[in-house]
Copies of this chain bind each other. A is one copy, B any other.
Amino acid sequence: MFKAVHYTEVPSEEVKDGASGVRVRWLISCKDGAENFAMRYFEIDPGGQTPRHSHDWEHESFILSGEGIVFCEGKKQKVSPGYVIFIPPRAEHYFKNTGKKKMIFLCLIPYKK
């Protein structure tokens, strides 16, 4: 069904599993009828980061606010608003806020078929 809401209307949850200072809003998911991929909105506190890990699926991300680094496949890339990131399946990666305000980004993942 058609959905059009402001992101602030979507609840924010703390991310566990090795993340520090990370919250997520599942903006669009299978609950909305999205069968192919999900859109999530992440906020990382200054100094926080997502876990260094890898998995079978890719990430497609867009940095909305703040600054930090994205580590992937042994490389560290400084990112800021407007950066686009593709993390391939099985690549070791993390996102880290190295700035003084929140680092905010969209991160989309596929649903397994």
Using a CB–CB distance below 8 Å, which chain A residues touch chain B?
A: 1-8, 10, 27-28, 32-37, 39, 58, 60, 62, 64, 70, 72-73, 75, 77, 79, 82-88, 91, 106, 108, 110, 113
Contacts and interface: CB of A to CB of B under 8 A. Distances in A.
Contact of A84 (B39, B60, B64): B39
A4 B83 contact: yes
A28 B60 contact: yes
Nearest to A87: B2
A110 B36 CA distance: 6
Contacts of A34: 58, 60, 86
B82 A8 contact: yes
Contact of A88 (B1, B73, B75, B87): B1
